[in-house]
Structure 1
Amino acid sequence: MSTTQKFIPVWKDEYKIHYYQVDVRSNATLVVLCQFMQESAWNHAEHLGLGFSHLSKMDFIWILSRQLLKIYSYPKWGDMIQVHTWSTGGSPLKIYHRGTYLVQIRNPNIEIRNKFELPKS
């Protein structure tokens, strides 16, 4: 994160479900939902200066350590999905030291949470 960028503690992205992201019943696939989460986590981590382009130079990488999936009904073709990312650490420095990063889809019929961690050396 450059000094001119504003620190965004909770990153929010919206994605529209397109025809090529659904199954024969017009439901978004689980793979697509996970791709949305990965994309938002990537964008937020890069914004914070903790993304792949930064950590790979120090031989670090985020790993997915836990995933919780509760899907009551899948979003349909044309629906909008909100993805929120945040850290339990707060500031980029605390995120780096605690090494925990969370991603969640916000939708009334879906609860997907991912937990990413930096392995301790």
Structure 2
Amino acid sequence: MRYAFIQDNQHIWPVRRLCSTLDVHHSGYYAWLKQPTSKTAKKRQQLSGLIKQFWLESGGVYGYRKIHCDLKDIGESCGINRVYRLMKTNGLKSQRGYRKPRAHTGIHQLLLQIL
């Protein structure tokens, strides 16, 4: 988190000053910059792209359950909770349905007719 803050603000302040302010050694920051992205991060990024694609194809209607089924259909293996978490972090929400209000019939109408 500190390293990401330094990376975002290095064009405003010198890196060494940011490192000393955040109690981080500058060599640790540069080592963090050089390290490659992990397999998990790559997989998460790939899944996020697929999830967003399926969500957009559905018109923003699908939730995590249907998107999980779509991912299984194309052969992508991941858990339903992972899909839920990735959708939540990316701000993708399903569109909830609603019911039309129905006219009250039955006993209420019978009581009105009796009176």
TM-score, normalising length from structure 2? 0.29
Higher helix share: 2
Q: Which structure has the larger Rg over C-alpha atoms?
A: 2
Higher strand share: 1
TM-score, normalising length from structure 1? 0.28
